[in-house]
Structure formats: C-alpha cells, structure tokens
Structure 1
C-alpha cells in the first residue's frame, strides 16, 4: 500500500479554531511533523513518531521520505496550508506521492473577522522572511493591505515603509498579535502613531487601510 502525506492546517494556534478533520488526522497520526509549539500542543506523549521542524527544510523532507516507506505522515502547518507553508516544498519534493490537504483558518482570515471587515479585495502581503514588491505597497485611495510580519519587518518598520510610499499619516492600522490565544491583543492606531510606538510586535498581522 502506498503511503500518503497529510498536510493539516492548524489555524492560528488555539485548538478551538481548528476544523475537526485536522484534529482527527493529528490525533490518529502515527508520524507527526510540526513546529515545536504545535508538537508540544497537539502531539501525543506516547505512540507517535514525532519530528520538530527547524530551519533545515531538506532535513524535514528527508525525514518524511524515510517515514513514507512504512507510514502515512501528518504535517502540521500554521494557518492554512495554501498560504505560505511547507505545502509548496512538499509538492515539489514528493511529486509522485499522494498528498492530502486539510485547510485551516489563516491568521489573515482571523484578523479580518476580529476587525469585522470583509477581505475579498484586500492585498495580502507576506513580509515574513521575504520582501514584498514595492508596487504592492504604494498608496492609492481605498487600498487595504494585510501584512504578515517578522523580526525585521514588524509593526514599526512596515508603517515607516508605507509612509515613505505616500500613505497618509492618519491612515488606520490594526496590529493583531497572538490571535486566538487568551492574551490576544488588537491595537487600532494610525501609521504615524505606530512608527512612534515603543513596543514592536513581531510575527503579527498588520491591516492597514487608506
């Protein structure tokens, strides 16, 4: 029997935001792959072969390849697998293997729901370990951009970039941090105020609108 890879979206972090199919796949997994927080939160203490994803993606793929000889492999990814996750690397590495994808709520979807806003016409930009094209960020009236952030591109530096690209200082900006967790924090501010803020939120979602 050919074994498969199951890529399960685990949402923003809180298990209440995961769909039942993902929870079931993780619970029944013989081999479970994920970040350290996900493994600690959702992995079984016994009865599972577990692998923590670190920075070496080739090592992750090699582990999955070895385990596929005898087991299905469940890979947990934060948010939704279709939006900046390991799914791309898995599909490229295992072109001839069956891959099942279980969707999840992305932090982008959660951020807009918390703000009570539609997001069908928003521009989605990842600044998490990458640089966004300048043309995506230039100002135009009515524009809405949602950013995924990281240590370098964060809740202070991104507003400063936008200011230099013509965004008005009073454009509204929402800083959404630790979404779905008990210590979730959402700050509604402006571009000019965010630049001056002492606290810099890393790995959060920024929603800015003209």
Structure 2
C-alpha cells in the first residue's frame, strides 16, 4: 500500500471466519486502522494506530486528513458496495488515493442460508433513513432483502411483508454468522411484534412462498 493511500475494507457480516484473506492482508499493512470496536476486534493487534469510529463520516475524514502520508485503512461492515460508509467517504476523498476491498455481505449469507438465488433480489436499506412506502419500494420484485438494524426498520419490513403476504414468505435473519445467529419464518404480524427486540444486525428476506427448511446451523 502506497504512502497516503486510503483503503476501505469490507469486513463481512460479523464472524471473523468471514473476513477475507485480502482484507486481512490490507489491514496488516496499515499505519492507521479506523473502525468500530466490533470491527477492530476482528483483526489482531499490530503496529498500526487504532482509532475507534462509529460511522461518523466527518470524524473519519478528520483522522485521514491528520495523517496525510500514512497508510490508512477504514473498516466497514459487510461489503463496501452495499449500504456502506464507503459511499460517503468516496464522495469526499480523491478517488485516486482510494482502494476498495470487497467483503461478504449479510445479503449473500441470508440467501445462502435459505438456499435461494439472489441475483434478481431487490435490496432496500431501511436502516437510518426512510425507505418510502413498501408497495412502491418493492413493486415488481421477485424477492427482496431489507437491511434493518432498528425497531423502525423492522416495522417497515413488516409493512412490506404485509403488502406481499399472499405471495411471499418473510424471514427475519439476525446476527448472521455469529454464535447467536437466528433465522425465523414469520407472518407480517409476527414480524411487527418482533421489531422491539430484534437484533441491530438484522435483515429481512421476502421470498416467493415455498417450503423451506431452516436449521439455524452454520457450516
């Protein structure tokens, strides 16, 4: 990694087992490692200075500006191209000094756990901002993945599930790849009731009605 370079790493859905070799190699080459405590804990301690950040774009940019010649690595959850801090950072930084390292997304894991293809899925982020009316956001989709993380987001997903309940099944996927992983097939009403206690690492999958066997077992 060249001096002054900024590398943004996708760290996967949660488990250290899902952090790629490319991500580990890039992190090991850093002078400054920026990320949430959960993401920093995925990497062994080394000579790099560690900076805790909880998704504050301005704080991350200040750290980058304070070390203009350092090799800076920014850790983001999931994949860099999906509802990620990478987007806002790239809009503010010189792209010539930036490199992205792809990661495994929770969407990939959720569909894999359910044994479903996701190439045609509609991906909607209901986390942190209004996602519009479910009927409009999901119009014409064959399947959908709704990125949650808050009670309001899961409630929005429950409204989406209600709008498709005649044709689609809803799955609440929590803490994917972690020891506390849980996947439940729920009605729209059950999903709404689960919103209050849903994990902050939640995704709701809406898939065409079919018989699926959910074991909640990780490979």
RMSD of aligned alpha carbons: 2.3
Partner of 1:33: 34
Figure out how many residues of one structure are paired with residues of the other and give that number: 204
Deviations 1:74-129 (A, max 9, x none): 11110000112121222222226411111000101111111110001110000010
User: For residues 73 and 177 of structure 1, what CA distance do their matches in structure 2 show?
Assistant: 31
Distance 1:178 1:171, change over 3 A: same
Partner of 2:59: 59
Q: Which runs of 5+ in 1 are unaligned?
A: none
Select which of 196, 202, 205 maps to 2:203: 205
Partner of 1:47: 47
User: For residues 112 and 70 of structure 1, what CA distance do their matches in structure 2 show?
Assistant: 41
> What is the TM-score of this pair, normalised by structure 2?
0.83
Aligned with 2:41: secondary structure? Answer: helix
> What is the TM-score of this pair, normalised by structure 1?
0.86
| Counterparts of residues 78-97 of structure 1 (less than 5 Å) | 78-95=77-94, 97=96
Select which of 147, 155, 175 maps to 1:178: 175
Q: Which runs of 5+ in 2 are unaligned?
A: 209-219
Distance 1:129 1:178, change over 3 A: same
1:100 aligns with 2:119: no
User: For residues 153 and 131 of structure 2, what CA distance do their matches in structure 1 show?
Assistant: 13
Q: Tell me whether 91-100 or 75-84 shows the greater mean CA deviation.
A: 91-100
Aligned with 2:66: secondary structure? Answer: helix
Distance 1:185 1:94, change over 3 A: same
Deviations 1:15-60 (A, max 9, x none): 211210101111232210011211233251x522111113532121
User: For residues 104 and 154 of structure 1, what CA distance do their matches in structure 2 show?
Assistant: 23
